């Protein structure tokens, strides 16, 4: 009834006000686009397809962290394969791998001279008979003080030996399990940092309580520029590609930092060797070993 008594001009102004009010409502209700951000909204749950899933072991999980800020940001959760990060730790296998790596780098250069390599001793020290003493032909004999060494060390000599493939694979899985169980395993999205100042890495390690020494594992041997320059003169920090990961280095450093891509590559290599049919067959063949390394390397 009231609408009939309103003039046409007033009706027109009321309709314009309604349209403008609806336009303001639609503008405020539109969600803000997040396309200009570097990351999607947190927390981000990272799902990974794990091959050779076990029916009896639960999948382990770890936080995915960032490296572009000193303060730690949890970007999401990453599934870890239980055949690699949830095995029963065997210290004997870890010790065999540690002892093997320590020995194959050692070369004994000690050379002890024999009686023929010493100066003097060509003259018979006393006559063969008539003196009541034992018969001798040279004072450089091994039984004389200052004489040569019988069956002495003849360096350079190495104690190199080769562990079976299964022991090496199980050594990596056992050590990775121990690192994960002790909370010394960190997974990051990448090794890109905003600056090449070494103080940034020092503050990041101190803030996140990574310990005295840190081992960074990348998916390739070409490292990001900033982290390479920042850790160039830091003796307690080492950068390593994923195919160089070994038991000795994991035990040497307090914290193991893996990128997400290097984690995928490590799991792929280890699962392939864990499920191959010839892992426990045959003796070590150096030629076949070198050929397999060349074929599997990228």
What pLDDT digit, counting tens, does each position of 256-280 carry? Answer: 999 999 999 999 999 999 998 776 6
Q: Quick check: helix, strand or coil at residue 103? A: helix
- How buried is residue 68: exposed, middle or buried, by Cβ count under 10 Å (0-12/13-18/19+)? middle
Is the confidence at residue 149, as pLDDT, over 70? yes
Residue 53: per-residue pLDDT:
85
228 confidence band (pLDDT: 50, 70, 90): very high
Neighbours of 250 (CB within 10 A): 22
- Dist CA 194 CA 70 (whole Å): 10
Higher pLDDT, 190 or 29: 190
- pLDDT of 69-128, one tens digit each? 999 999 999 999 999 999 999 999 999 999 999 998 889 999 999 999 999 999 999 999
Tokens 């349209």, residue? 19
Cα 277 from Cα 165, distance rounded (Å): 12
Averaged pLDDT for residues 201-205: 96
Please give the Cα distance from 189 to 203 (Å, whole number).
19
pLDDT band at 57 (very low <50, low <70, confident <90, very high): confident
Structure tokens at 4: 């009939």
Quote the tokens at residue 115.
């009686």
Helix (H, G, I), strand (E, B) or coil at 177: helix
Residue 9 has pLDDT above 60, yes or no: no
Residue-averaged pLDDT of the chain: 84
Residue 9, Cβ neighbours under 10 Å: how many? 8
Name the nearest CA neighbour of 48 among 101, 94, 84, 7: 84
Q: Which residues pair with 158 in a beta bridge?
A: 107
Q: Report the C-alpha gap between 82 and 61 in whole angstroms.
A: 9
In the chain, DSSP finds a helix count (H) and a strand count (E) of 9, 8
Lowest mean pLDDT among 35-39, 95-99, 242-246: 35-39
* pLDDT of amino acid 283: 54
- Spatial CA neighbour of 236 closest among 216, 263, 265, 264: 216
Residues in the chain: 298
Task: Find out whether 70 and 195 touch, Cβ atoms under 8 Å.
Answer: no
Q: Which helix (H) or strand (E) holds 116?
A: none
pLDDT, residue 189, reads 92
Q: Which residue in 111, 108, 55 sits closest to 83, CA to CA?
A: 55
């Amino acid at each position: 009834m009231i609408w009939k008594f309103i003039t046409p001009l007033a009706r027109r102004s009321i309709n314009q006000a309604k349209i403008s009010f609806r336009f303001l409502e639609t503008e405020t209700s539109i969600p803000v686009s997040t396309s200009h951000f570097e990351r999607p909204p947190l927390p981000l749950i990272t799902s990974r397809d794990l091959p050779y899933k076990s029916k009896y072991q639960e999948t382990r999980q770890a936080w995915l962290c960032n490296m572009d800020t000193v303060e730690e940001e949890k970007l999401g959760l990453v599934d870890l394969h239980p055949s690699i990060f949830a095995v029963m730790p065997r210290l004997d296998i870890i010790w065999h791998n540690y002892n093997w790596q320590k020995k194959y780098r050692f070369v004994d250069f000690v050379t002890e001279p024999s009686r023929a390599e010493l100066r003097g001793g060509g003259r018979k020290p006393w006559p063969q008979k008539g003196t009541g003493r034992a018969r001798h032909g040279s004072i450089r004999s091994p039984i004389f003080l200052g004489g040569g060494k019988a069956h002495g060390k003849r360096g350079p000599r190495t104690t190199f030996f080769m562990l079976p493939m299964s022991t090496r694979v199980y050594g990596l899985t056992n050590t990775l399990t121990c690192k994960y169980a002790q909370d010394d395993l960190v997974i990051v999205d990448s090794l890109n940092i905003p600056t090449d100042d070494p103080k940034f890495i020092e503050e990041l390690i101190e803030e996140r309580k990574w310990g005295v020494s840190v081992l960074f594992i990348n998916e390739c041997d070409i490292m990001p520029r900033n982290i390479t320059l920042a850790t160039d003169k830091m003796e307690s920090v080492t950068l390593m590609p994923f195919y160089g990961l070994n038991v000795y280095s994991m035990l040497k450093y307090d914290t193991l930092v893996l990128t997400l891509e290097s984690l995928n590559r490590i799991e792929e290599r280890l699962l392939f060797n864990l499920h191959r049919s010839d892992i426990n067959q045959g003796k070590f063949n150096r030629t076949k070993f070198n050929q397999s390394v060349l074929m599997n390397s990228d």
